[in-house]
Structure 1
Amino acid sequence: MAQPQFEEIVEDFEFLDDWEDRYRHVIEQGKAMEPLDAALKVPATKVEGCASQVWLHPQIEGGTFRFDGDSDALIVRGLIAVLRALYNDLPVAEVPAVDAGGELARLGLTDHLSAQRSNGLRAMIERIRLVASQAS
């Protein structure tokens, strides 16, 4: 079972009939996030393999995984928000075991993203898993 925040997104998607509405919803999720502090937009937090600029700033406190992120593309910022709903507040040891592909498939995201966006999404998931596995 996914995090409650992610389940809310799944439920929202069930009420949205077409992909354009879902796309807008993802963008709104990104707009609702606090922007990442400019001081954290450094090469160490930048995710390579994304068509747009993406930064992820993971934090592990008391064994709990969290990350903040940002992008210069609205849809990618929304995808970061979706990933935050999927991963934030999990015990760090559970993060690598999350079936991100399966969970995201529940939203139909992979069917409607360009190849470049899909590659970027995979790169973000790989970064999240790497950080969590190194910390646990």
Structure 2
Amino acid sequence: MTIKEKQQETVEAFDFMEDWEQKYEYIIDLGKELKGISDDKKTDDNLIKGCQSKVWIDAEFKEGKLYFNADSDGILPKGIISLLVSIYSGHATQEILDSDFKFIEEIGLQEFLSPSRANGLMAMTKQIKFYAVAFQLKS
């Protein structure tokens, strides 16, 4: 499944939910499914700057694809990063770089978040793109 298809699937899932309480619960459930990262990966290098909570994201490049793993000490940010990891992990760096984050607007996530959490969300998306650029330069 392409990134675009995963984004569309996410938009459709959010459209199906009636209110933000259901969407909020869905995001939290996504966070519960995230396997997290080991303590040795919870370093300053993997810490996303600009998030209200601590959010770590680690990337591994293998067989031409970028794989993300992440964790957070907050339940909502953990759900948000889990959503992003599920969409962008396992894709080629160029596909990640060619993708956009319009689906976030389409599901209304930024509007639902406080300004500081919205800034954290943008920091998460920038970090994903940063990893794609960094690993593309290495390959």
TM (norm. structure 2) is 0.89
CA distance in 1, matches of 2:70, 2:7: 17
RMSD across aligned positions (CA): 1.5
Identity of aligned residues (%): 30
Q: Give 1:72 deviation, angstroms.
A: 0.6
Preserved CA contact (<8 Å) 2:51 2:123: yes
CA distance in 2, matches of 1:33, 1:108: 22
Match of 2:36 in 1: 35
- Report the residue type matching 1:66 in the other structure: Y
CA distance in 2, matches of 1:96, 1:117: 23
Match of 2:116 in 1: 116
Q: Give 1:34 deviation, angstroms.
A: 0.7
- Report the residue type matching 1:63 in the other structure: G
Match of 1:133 in 2: 133
Preserved CA contact (<8 Å) 1:60 1:92: no
- Report the residue type matching 1:119 in the other structure: N
Any gaps of 5 or more consecutive residues in structure 2? none
CA distance in 1, matches of 2:39, 2:5: 29
- Report the residue type matching 2:84 in the other structure: L
Task: Specify the SS of the correspondent of 1:47.
Answer: coil
Preserved CA contact (<8 Å) 1:3 1:85: no
CA distance in 2, matches of 1:114, 1:37: 29
Match of 1:107 in 2: 107
Task: Specify the SS of the correspondent of 1:90.
Answer: coil
Preserved CA contact (<8 Å) 2:8 2:103: no
Task: Specify the SS of the correspondent of 1:60.
Answer: strand
Any gaps of 5 or more consecutive residues in structure 1? none
TM (norm. structure 1) is 0.91
CA distance in 1, matches of 2:41, 2:107: 30
Preserved CA contact (<8 Å) 2:3 2:95: no
Most deviating of 4-13 and 121-130: 4-13
Match of 1:46 in 2: 47
